[in-house]
Amino acid sequence: MAEGTIKRVTDKGFGFIDTGGAKDLFFHSSALDGVRFDDLREGQRVSFEEGNGPKGPCAENVKVI
């Protein structure tokens, strides 16, 4: 699994992960595993699997480390 840092969470149920690369990776609240969306905070370290959503690359199985 890849690792990154929560860069931004919105009040609309999605956010972005800083992967250390050129682009941030989108994630949706439905992709969380073992954590509630409301418990996520910017700066938290997470692990995830890269996947493809309807609008392009996204994070799946997002877990707080």
Stated pTM of the model: 0.92
Residue 9 pLDDT > 90: yes
Q: What pLDDT, in 10s, does the model give residues 10-28?
A: 999 999 999 998 899 999 9
Give the C-alpha separation, 52 to 43, whole Å.
Answer: 24
Number of domains in the chain: 1
Q: What pLDDT, in 10s, does the model give residues 28-45?
A: 999 999 999 999 999 999
Please report how many Cα atoms fall inside a 13 Å half-sphere around the Cα of residue 26, on the Cβ side.
12
Domain holding 12, by residue range, is 2-64
Q: What is the CATH number of the domain that holds 43?
A: 2.40.50.140
Q: Say whether 30 sits in a helix, a strand or coil.
A: helix
